[in-house]
Amino acid sequence: MWNNLQNAEERPGRKGLVKRIVVFVVLVVAVCAAVGLVLFQESLNFDALRRYFKYFNLRDQEDSGIYTFDSHNSNRYGAAGSGLAVGSVGGLVYYQDNGAERYSIQSQLALPQLITRGKMMLCYDVGGTTLLLGNTNGELLNLSSDKAILDADLASTGALCYSSSSSGYKSVLTVYNAGQELIYRWLSSTTYMPLCAIPEKGSYLAAVGLGASGGAFESSVYFFRTDAEEIQQQVSLGNELIYDLFFLDSDTVCTVGEQSVQLVDVDGTYLGSYTYEEPYLKDYDTQGDGFLTLVTNMYRAGNRNTLRTLDESGSEIASLYLGQEVLDLSASGNYVAVLTPDDLTIYTSSLNVYAQTNDIGSATSVIMREDGSALLLGGGQGWLYLP
């Protein structure tokens, strides 16, 4: 009798101890798994599983994922949703992921440029007056400018801005909100502003202005609020020609120039810069998730190219000497695609090789996708490469 009572009293304690041990083991496993995901996220091929299910139906169909379009040297390509956007001298065409044409907006464009953000796409005519806006659902809009368009930018919400010339003014900056309603216009009578950028919510507008200081050429970045009339901030970028600018987030602008990358906050704070180690910038891409990709060269011509990635503070993540001609460069998600005459190599943002193929056919362009797949384009066709 006594033994039975003693065993009954001991069992709850033992069960509690076992429960605590199990909880402890589960916590240890969870912590180790989390640490492993952080340390080995590039080597764990989750995107391969993602691609397997996403493109499952395409793997067994030889013609699926093959895009056919008019081949032209002025063609511009971009990923929109899971499909392909093509901007050309004949307008804007969007193709679904199975290669079928979803829609087209026909317009004569002398020098087309294409921007894609999420499910939105904007094709505009540099030096012309036409802007073609569409999304993957087939909602289309044909906008026009009074004077020649110099530059434009697009947010994934559908908000957009563009810079144009105008009689009596050096430049005109125009902003449309996500509903494609005109909400802001700045008429500049003293400064040429050929480049512009807009953040996701469209609350700010940034522009590069060209001027002079002390008799020397000077570039500056100007910040505007779309609900205010005055210039909010002006920050000097020095004696440098600026090729591009874009918003890293709602508060930070990055400029890509002839000599360096510079970072500026919308409150006017100069955040820093990165000067290229080789003097010549050959190519760049701004679409990486949290990083910027550059190709620099020691000489104006030749194949001594170096691939570099920078983080959002302007610090170098990694660099890699290529020693090859680079036909095209594209970044998306955590990946960078580099197309050369011999092969296609996909790197991670830390420039580790993720995938490689020499089966590139007549490809002259590449579009990287955030899931690790890539579109190869050339000769009026586009096809999918799945690592």
Q: Which tens digit of pLDDT belongs to each residue from 50-71?
A: 766 666 666 555 444 589 999 9
- pLDDT over 60 at 237, yes or no: yes
- pLDDT over 70 at 9, yes or no: no
- Burial readout 278-297 (b: 16 or more C-beta within 10 A, e: otherwise): bebbbbbbebbeebbbbbbb
Question: What average pLDDT does the chain have?
Answer: 88
Give per-residue pLDDT as tens, 327-359. 999 999 999 999 999 999 999 999 999 999 999
The rounded radius of gyration (Å) of the Cα atoms in the chain is 26
Looking at residue 29, what is its pLDDT? 53
Q: In which band, very low, low, confident or very high, does the pLDDT at 49 lie, cut at 50, 70 and 90?
A: confident
Least confident among 42-46, 140-144, 239-243: 42-46
Looking at residue 168, what is its pLDDT? 87
Q: What is the mean pLDDT of residues 85-95?
A: 96
What span, in angstroms and rounded, lies between the C-alpha atoms of 347 and 129? 38
Q: What is the DSSP letter of 28?
A: H
Could you give the maximum distance between any two Cα atoms of the chain, in Å?
Answer: 107
Counting Cα atoms < 13 Å in the Cβ hemisphere of 84 gives 28
Two structure tokens written together for 289: 């998730």
Name residue 100's amino acid.
A
Residue 36, Ramachandran bin (φ over 0: left; ψ between -120 and 50: alpha; else beta): alpha
* pLDDT: which is higher, 87 or 82: 87
Classify strands 76-80 and 169-176 as parallel, antiparallel or unpaired. unpaired
What span, in angstroms and rounded, lies between the C-alpha atoms of 30 and 27? 5
Strand partners, 169: 166
Two structure tokens written together for 314: 């302007």
Picking from 135, 254, 143, 237, the residue whose alpha carbon sits closest to that of residue 199 is 254
What span, in angstroms and rounded, lies between the C-alpha atoms of 86 and 104? 9
Picking from 124, 201, 104, 112, the residue whose alpha carbon sits closest to that of residue 158 is 201
For residues 126, 130, 135, 140, the Cα torsion angle rounded to the nearest 10 degrees is -170
- Start-to-end Cα distance in the chain: 70
Residue 262, Ramachandran bin (φ over 0: left; ψ between -120 and 50: alpha; else beta): beta
Neighbours of 227 (CB within 10 A): 9
Q: In which band, very low, low, confident or very high, does the pLDDT at 216 lie, cut at 50, 70 and 90?
A: confident
Alpha helices in 136-289 (DSSP H): none
Please give the backbone phi and psi of residue 21, each rounded to the nearest 5 degrees, phi first: -65, -45
Q: What is the DSSP letter of 287?
A: -
Two structure tokens written together for 308: 């570099």
Looking at residue 11, what is its pLDDT? 53
- pLDDT over 60 at 38, yes or no: no
pTM for the whole thing? Answer: 0.85
